A and B are shown apart, each in its own frame.
Chain A
Amino acid sequence: AQSVTQPDIHITVSEGASLELRCNYSYGATPYLFWYVQSPGQGLQLLLKYFSGDTLVQGIKGFEAEFKRSQSSFNLRKPSVHWSDAAEYFCAVDNTDKLIFGTGTRLQVFP
C-alpha cells in the first residue's frame, strides 16, 4: 500500500540555522509529491510539488526539496530558518485523486 513516512515528529532549530525535514514514500508508480505547511490554527498551504523533470524543486518562502528515486525520498530544505517558519510540515503523495499524508513534523524555532 502507498504510504508516506516522516521519521521526525519534532525538530528544533535556531533561527538562521539550516533545516532539512525528511520524507520517505512507498509508491509503485511515478510519485507525485507535495510539501504542505500548517501554521497553528490555519489550513494547509502548498510549499512545493514534484511531478516530473528537475529533481530539485523550488517552492515558496525559500524552501526547496529534492526528489531521490533511489532512496524513495523527498526531503525539504531551507538554508536559513526564520522564526515565522515555526509550523507543522506535511509531506504527501498523490495516489490517483487523493493525497496520502505523512504524520507531520513539528518545527520549533529558537531565537
Chain B
Amino acid sequence: DSGVTQTPKHLITATGQRVTLRCSPRSGDLSVYWYQQSLDQGLQFLIQYYNGEERAKGNILERFSAQQFPDLHSELNLSSLELGDSALYFCASSVSGGVETQYFGPGTRLLVL
C-alpha cells in the first residue's frame, strides 16, 4: 500500500459525458501527478500540481483539467468523453515535486461506451 488513494476504482460512462477522478496523496506529500495508461499510448504524464499550483503539463487534452485543493487532494476532470479516453488513470504523489520518488495509487479504470 503506497498511501495514495484514488476513487472510484472503476467508472463506466457514455461518450459525451463528464467524469471526475479523485486522488488523495500520501500524508505529507505536497505534489500530485496524473498519468494515463492506455494500450496504444502506454504510460503518459498528464499534469503535475504542487501545493495547489500547476507545475508541469504533459500530453493533457484540452477537454481534461485538474486542480489541487487546499487539503492537497486532487481531482482530474474529463469532459466530452470519447471512446479513446478509456484507460487507466493513475495518481502519484511525492514530497516536494523535485527529482524524487513518486508513489502511485491503485488507479481508476475508465471505460467509455
Interface residue ranges, A against B (CB under 8 Å): 32, 34, 36, 42-46, 49, 51, 90, 94, 96-104
Contact = CB atoms under 8 A, between A and B. Distances in A.
A97 B90 contact: no
Contact of A94 (B2, B35, B58, B99): B99
A97 B106 contact: no
Q: Is the interface of B mostly helix, strand, loop or mixed?
A: strand
Nearest to A97: B56
Nearest to A90: B43
Contact of B45 (A49, A90, A100): A100
B42 A97 contact: no
A43 B43 CA distance: 12
B43 A98 contact: no
B2 to A, nearest CB: 7
A44 B104 contact: yes
Contact of B106 (A36, A42, A51, A96): A42
B99 A51 contact: yes
B97 A97 contact: yes
Contact size range, B: 20 to 34
Contacts of B99: 32, 51, 94, 96-97
Contacts of A49: 101
Contact of A98 (B45, B105, B107): B45
Contact of A101 (B43, B48, B103): B43
17 contacts: A36-B104, A42-B106, A43-B107, A44-B90, A45-B2, A46-B101, A46-B103, A94-B99, A96-B56, A97-B55, A97-B56, A97-B97, A98-B56, A98-B58, A99-B92, A102-B42, A103-B42
B13 interface: no
Contact of A97 (B2, B4, B35, B98): B98
A102 B58 CA distance: 16
Nearest to B102: A99
B7 to A, nearest CB: 13
Contacts of A45: 2, 104
